[in-house]
Structure 1
Amino acid sequence: MEPPRGVLSSIWNFICFLPYFIGLLLLGTIKGIIFCPLICLTMTFGNLAIILGLWPVHCVWTYYSIFCSKQLGPILKLVLFVCMPIPLIIWPVVGIVGSIVGGAAFGFLSPIYATFDAVGEGKSNEFFHCFYDGTWSTIKGSFTTIRDFADVCFHSYFSYMADLRQESPDGKYHEIRLLHIPGAVIAGVLCFLVDMPMISLIALYKSPYMLFKGWHRLFHDLIGREGPFLETICVPFAGLAIILWPLAVAGAVLGSIASSIFLGAYAGVVVYQESSFWMGLRYIVASISIYDEYSNDILDMREGSCFPRFTLGHF
């Protein structure tokens, strides 16, 4: 059956489904509020026991594997011995904070998603599944997450350390070139100082276009019942997307600003890999051009970039 056309039919379907949507959202939110503390505590204490229980073993075995590694050179081993305490100390903090945030998000969002999924096709008793789905499945999912985390911290970790101690197929080992590290650091700092303000300005300059282009596309789909508005159950979510689209644009701008940090720091990698400080300077200009051209492609703007895009090859 063809979807209804016209603004009035779309608005009428939206109004008819709105109470149904609000009821499911409230029910899912109530279940999320109930299960969020339980799931958060379960995942936090489960992962905490794994992290703290294996942390002394990880510290000792990491240093032992680095010392016995046949894939690392002596200078690189010395650098790793000096720098390794930093990630080993940060790891428990990051793991615990990640468990708290991840457990809270999973415990709150999983019942909501399951509540909406309960009214999908193939469910025999939708009323029962609206209340039941997302309860026991969320609890089982939290234990599955803890088990998978334990597998990574135990089996995967020791497997990786065993591979590190083995000799590489070509018989060579990795070594760090200390001579190029100062140039790499300088290039990374310079690229960060240039790329971050330039990419931020480009993102801010194109954000109004992204805002109105996104609204134009969403309203076009709303009128024609296309895209996210094709299915009736998706209409409230798509309508919510129209309302929250400015937040998505703001998030894209902030994401661009954050990505400029890593994009700028990569200049140090270019200098180190190419053994040329000049290549790092060329990358500073090329990275801005790459971002400008990529953002133009995403927004369906004019192809290319007004910035020169130097290749990283030698003259």
Structure 2
Amino acid sequence: MEVPAGFLAKLWSFLSFLPFFLLLFILGLLKAALVGPAVLGIILIGNSAVIMGLWTAHFVWTYYCVANSQRFHFLAYNFRTKKLGPVLKVVVLVSLPVPLVLWPISGIVGSLLGGVAYGCFAPLLATFEAVGGNVTDKFYHCFVDGCWSTIKVGCTVVQDFTDFCFHSYFSYMDELIETVLPDERPTDIKLSKLPGCLLASLIGLPVDVILITAVALWKSPYMLFKGWKRLLEDLIGREGPFLETVCVPFAGLAIILWPLAVVGGVIGATVSSFFLGLYSGVIVYQEGSLLMGLAYIVSVVSLFDEYANDLLYLREGSCLPRPEYRRNMGPSTERKKLAENHNTDSKNGRENSYRSKLITEKSRTLKWEIQQYKPMQVWDWLFKSCEVNGRILLHDGLITLEDIEECMLKGNCKKLGVQLPAWSILQCLLASGKSNSSGLVISDHEVELTTMNGPRDKVFEWFVGPLLVIKEQLKRVHLDEIEENCLRELVIRCRNEKPEEWDGTEFASSDIVRRAQLQSIIRRLQGIVASMSRIPTFRRRFRNLVKLLYIETLQASASANHMREILKDSRSCIQSEEEKGSDDTLNKEHRTYDNGNVV
């Protein structure tokens, strides 16, 4: 669509847009009014039932795991080696009632707010997405989209939340009481530093909450009007994110919902201020000085004010004081970093910072942004790879039907849920190392995932960063083809916890150091996958994957049995025909001799 030029053309474009937008908006509100209460009820009642039903178990098991994280003998039971030092254990046991009591309250309130937000906005957004350029029969989809799909997603939210509370939580607790290496030191804190840390946190909590909230409220009118101004300019001129035709309905929706984004920003600043205030106790413990903690309480307000100024394109820096709160940081180090950042911004132009806004110039449409959510793309690749490799492992006999039944029917997926994704990721790491890629080669060697083009997501970085390190380690080991094949098999067959596990295997190398290095790499890879398995969506998607493999295996087994029965029947028929043919031949010969009077 051509961008309108001139005042009259822009005015006509704006006026012709209003009826179209209002009809879609009213239809979206009606769908939200019908679907929203149902979604709210599903999420609120489902999550609340899970929280209250498991709260007693969470309370008792948390105290049990923290208290029994040290080895001692009772009757025939030998409890694990300690992971927490005595001082830290006492501090955790004393402070545990606070989060355990707040957990039901925060969980139910979060479910209420999440149910209201998703139940209202999902049908509304789906109504506007139905007019996209790639959608056929737009009139039908405007009424249908966002109704049943929103209810199904609400049920999925409850399912994932249940998996997190039931499986992920107990997995974390089991890790706390696992046996550790003999040379591993327990995590502990110094008792002499606790009073200063507690005092700094008690001072920083109210001070930072009040000051950061005040700064956020002071900046909120600027955020509201500057955002409206930018959105209206882009809407009327069809510029920036509203250049395409499909973006026009989202323009009006973004203008109406922008105050909610401002309110969300203020609430987010207030919530984060609690943690920023409590972090002053960590500064005191790390630096060993109460004055450093007090300096941090003041500095963090200045840092937040400067961040808000950069976000809203106000004046650079902050007028609030910023004392140094790190001993190992020189007096000009932080100012030097800030100056470098400001110089970089001035070189690239302040317009490049628009990616911090809700609506950016690089984002074409809201629908496009939702589809281009890259962490979900990587997540989809992982499960697709597990599906393909699961069939290969079943064919090679490395995974059996009993393993799938144990996960599918008994719910014990600890073995298969770690080894199959680890095998798939190992395939990716080996292929990426051979291709000399700077990242990870995924999606059938079509996409190269690096730190530059990867998602700007902390959870994503926690998992992919170590994988890139493992890839470089495997590359430096210089594995040959035989060792690679053995390594793939050992990932499935062995737990890789002790060096002696590989003694009875056919691993090509006899170098003890080399084998220890590879075992360490595999253990780390399996640990990363075990952490991935605690993400709520992992268990649901992996269970669907196992169900698919289970059905395919049963069908293949039934087909093989059917073919064996057919072959068996065919052999029986052939044998009976041969016997019948031999009897007929004997009878014919007997009749010939009898007719010829040959006795």
- State the TM-score bracket (shorter-chain normalisation): 0.7 to 0.9
Q: Give the whole-Å Cα distance in 1 for the aligned partners of 2:259 and 2:300.
A: 27
Asked if 2 retains the 8 angstrom alpha-carbon contact of 1:289 and 1:309, the reply is: no
Answering whether residue 16 of structure 2 is matched by residue 10 of structure 1, we say no
Answering whether residue 326 of structure 2 is matched by residue 312 of structure 1, we say yes
Matches within 5 A, 1:149-160: 149-160=161-172
Q: Which has the higher contact order (CA 8 A, sep 6+)?
A: 1
Corresponding residue for 2:53?
53
Deviation by residue 1:30-71 (Cα, 9 ceiling, x = unmatched): 111112222222222322332233223222221221122221
Which sections of structure 1, spanning at least 5 residues, go unmatched? none
**What is the CA distance between 1:149 and its match in structure 2?**
0.8
Corresponding residue for 1:185?
198
Deviation by residue 1:100-148 (Cα, 9 ceiling, x = unmatched): 3322322222211111111112222111111111121112111111111
Corresponding residue for 1:175?
188
How many residue pairs match? The answer is 315
Which deviates the most, 304-313 or 25-34? 304-313
Answering whether residue 323 of structure 2 is matched by residue 279 of structure 1, we say no
Corresponding residue for 1:132?
144
Corresponding residue for 2:128?
116
**What is the CA distance between 1:161 and its match in structure 2?**
0.8
SS at 1:188's partner residue? Answer: helix
Change over 3 Å in CA distance of 1:291–1:218 after alignment to 2: same
Change over 3 Å in CA distance of 1:115–1:34 after alignment to 2: same
Corresponding residue for 1:296?
309
Corresponding residue for 2:66?
66
Q: Tell me the amino acid that sits aligned with residue 310 of structure 1.
A: E
Q: Give the whole-Å Cα distance in 2 for the aligned partners of 1:224 and 1:9.
A: 9
Bigger Cα Rg? 2
Q: Give the whole-Å Cα distance in 2 for the aligned partners of 1:256 and 1:53.
A: 32
Q: Give the whole-Å Cα distance in 1 for the aligned partners of 2:25 and 2:68.
A: 56
Q: Tell me the amino acid that sits aligned with residue 101 of structure 2.
A: I
Which deviates the most, 297-306 or 66-75? 297-306
Deviation by residue 1:228-277 (Cα, 9 ceiling, x = unmatched): 33234544554565577677667656655664444333222200222211
**What is the CA distance between 1:192 and its match in structure 2?**
4.8
Asked if 2 retains the 8 angstrom alpha-carbon contact of 1:43 and 1:99, the reply is: yes
Asked if 2 retains the 8 angstrom alpha-carbon contact of 1:10 and 1:222, the reply is: no
Q: Give the whole-Å Cα distance in 2 for the aligned partners of 1:54 and 1:201.
A: 38
Which deviates the most, 209-218 or 153-162? 209-218
Answering whether residue 168 of structure 2 is matched by residue 144 of structure 1, we say no
Q: Give the whole-Å Cα distance in 2 for the aligned partners of 1:105 and 1:229.
A: 25
TM-score by length of 2: 0.47
Q: Give the whole-Å Cα distance in 2 for the aligned partners of 1:246 and 1:35.
A: 23
244, 255, 278: which one pairs with 1:265? 278
Q: Give the whole-Å Cα distance in 2 for the aligned partners of 1:250 and 1:44.
A: 23
Asked if 2 retains the 8 angstrom alpha-carbon contact of 1:5 and 1:225, the reply is: no
Q: Tell me the amino acid that sits aligned with residue 103 of structure 2.
A: W
**What is the CA distance between 1:23 and its match in structure 2?**
1.3
Asked if 2 retains the 8 angstrom alpha-carbon contact of 1:214 and 1:245, the reply is: yes
Q: Tell me the amino acid that sits aligned with residue 175 of structure 1.
A: D
Corresponding residue for 2:510?
none
88, 95, 98: which one pairs with 1:86? 98
Q: Tell me the amino acid that sits aligned with residue 295 of structure 2.
A: R
Corresponding residue for 2:402?
none
**What is the CA distance between 1:72 and its match in structure 2?**
1.1
Q: Give the whole-Å Cα distance in 2 for the aligned partners of 1:7 and 1:291.
A: 40
Q: Give the whole-Å Cα distance in 2 for the aligned partners of 1:3 and 1:103.
A: 39
Q: Give the whole-Å Cα distance in 2 for the aligned partners of 1:198 and 1:138.
A: 39
Deviation by residue 1:7-35 (Cα, 9 ceiling, x = unmatched): 33233222212212111111121111112
Q: Give the whole-Å Cα distance in 2 for the aligned partners of 1:78 and 1:258.
A: 28
Asked if 2 retains the 8 angstrom alpha-carbon contact of 1:290 and 1:309, the reply is: no
Asked if 1 retains the 8 angstrom alpha-carbon contact of 2:14 and 2:236, the reply is: no
Change over 3 Å in CA distance of 1:177–1:5 after alignment to 2: farther
Asked if 2 retains the 8 angstrom alpha-carbon contact of 1:296 and 1:303, the reply is: yes
Asked if 1 retains the 8 angstrom alpha-carbon contact of 2:47 and 2:158, the reply is: yes
Q: Tell me the amino acid that sits aligned with residue 81 of structure 1.
A: L
Q: Give the whole-Å Cα distance in 1 for the aligned partners of 2:122 and 2:5.
A: 34
Corresponding residue for 2:26?
26
Deviation by residue 1:58-106 (Cα, 9 ceiling, x = unmatched): 2222122112222112232223333323333332333233323322322
Q: Tell me the amino acid that sits aligned with residue 100 of structure 2.
A: L
Corresponding residue for 2:417?
none
User: Which one has the bigger helix percentage?
Assistant: 1
Asked if 2 retains the 8 angstrom alpha-carbon contact of 1:14 and 1:235, the reply is: no
Q: Give the whole-Å Cα distance in 2 for the aligned partners of 1:57 and 1:206.
A: 44
Asked if 1 retains the 8 angstrom alpha-carbon contact of 2:128 and 2:250, the reply is: no
Corresponding residue for 2:42?
42
Q: Give the whole-Å Cα distance in 2 for the aligned partners of 1:253 and 1:85.
A: 29
Q: Tell me the amino acid that sits aligned with residue 35 of structure 2.
A: F
SS at 1:221's partner residue? Answer: helix
TM-score by length of 1: 0.84
Which sections of structure 2, spanning at least 5 residues, go unmatched? 70-81, 331-599
Which deviates the most, 29-38 or 103-112? 103-112
Corresponding residue for 1:227?
240
Asked if 2 retains the 8 angstrom alpha-carbon contact of 1:192 and 1:265, the reply is: yes
SS at 2:196's partner residue? Answer: helix
Change over 3 Å in CA distance of 1:303–1:309 after alignment to 2: farther
Asked if 2 retains the 8 angstrom alpha-carbon contact of 1:285 and 1:310, the reply is: no
